[in-house]
Structure 1
């Protein structure tokens, strides 16, 4: 099947800028799920403060204030931007939701089971509680799914690059 010159031109025009897409995706992933983490903290489903990523730099009493929680949201946004670019370079070739789910689970495991307790960002696993662990796992799974599936949909969805077929399906729908 030969591709006409006009179809090639349309495909070239539809190139997404990966840098800007990664920045936008990371920003909105951080904003949406940072606010989500704040909500589950406010509703006491988790005991981990929203600013746990910057716990080494600020006192916990400050991170529990409004300004500290806002700074925590900002740190989660920056973390999500970095994590998005890392996903793009490591797992960007995978299609579908599974890579994103695994990516979120790996981040959760690293932050809550390995690095977090070592650096004092979160309490050790035996002290943190099952409610906190399961809530944070759910948030990080959905966060990873959001990043992975959004990226896969943008860069692996060929249907959006196909030309619209005029008239096909319209007559039968009426």
Structure 2
């Protein structure tokens, strides 16, 4: 009789959680979000720098500093440093928003959808209508993979916590 009680207790509930687990919508701890944002900045900053170096996109890491420094001064070491800092802040905000809005959903393609949303927001600021096909495809791939990284990392962190 104990075996059936154990099996029933381990069956997923309506929310996809095992019985006995708390299913709050709380975000990840600040330190964990900062860690994910740091590694996201390192990884996707290097990917963006490589894509810019190989002339796949005109937007390198320094493009994130253009609103602050302007176009002329963004192409300097200060622009790269400030762009990396701005990318970290944007990545942290992206992780925080995903954690709060989509954090409980455990579907891998939600990260792709989130990447499309981020592309639409970035495209508004970087004038997506003026992009050629090569830039559009590179930025689409970068944002889709970035959204997938954020989504899958948050899902993994939440499932490890549970």
For this structure pair, what is the TM-score category when the shorter chain's length is used for normalisation?
0.7 to 0.9
1:69, distance to aligned residue in structure 2 (A): 1.5
Q: Which runs of 4+ in 1 moved over 6 A?
A: none
Q: Are residues 95 and 34 of structure 1, via their aligned partners in 2, closer, same or farther at CA, if it must alter by over 3 Å?
A: same
The answer for unaligned runs of 5 or more in structure 1 is 4-10, 117-121, 162-174
1:124, distance to aligned residue in structure 2 (A): 4.5
In 2, the alpha carbon distance for the partners of 1:48 and 1:128 equals: 11
In 2, the alpha carbon distance for the partners of 1:60 and 1:35 equals: 21
The answer to whether residue 142 in structure 2 is matched with residue 131 in structure 1 is: no
In 2, the alpha carbon distance for the partners of 1:98 and 1:55 equals: 31
Aligned to 2:12: none
CA displacement 1:106-133 (0-9 Å, x = unmatched)? 1001211xx31xxxxx2451x3211111
Aligned partner of 1:41 among 47, 52, 61: 52
Q: How many residues align?
A: 141
The answer for unaligned runs of 5 or more in structure 2 is 10-20, 23-27
- The normalised TM-score by structure 1 is 0.72
Q: Aligned runs of 1:53-132 on 2, under 5 Å?
A: 53-112=64-123, 115-116=124-125, 122-125=126-129, 127-132=130-135
1:66, distance to aligned residue in structure 2 (A): 2.4
CA displacement 1:120-172 (0-9 Å, x = unmatched)? xx2451x32111111011111111111100111221358xx7xxxxxxxxxxx
- The normalised TM-score by structure 2 is 0.77
The answer to whether residue 154 in structure 2 is matched with residue 143 in structure 1 is: no
1:49, distance to aligned residue in structure 2 (A): 3.6
CA displacement 1:47-86 (0-9 Å, x = unmatched)? 1242333322212122112221122112111110111001
Q: Are residues 153 and 124 of structure 1, via their aligned partners in 2, closer, same or farther at CA, if it must alter by over 3 Å?
A: closer
Bigger relative contact order, structure 1 or 2, given CA contacts below 8 A and separation 6+?
A: 1
Aligned partner of 2:158 among 145, 155, 158: 155
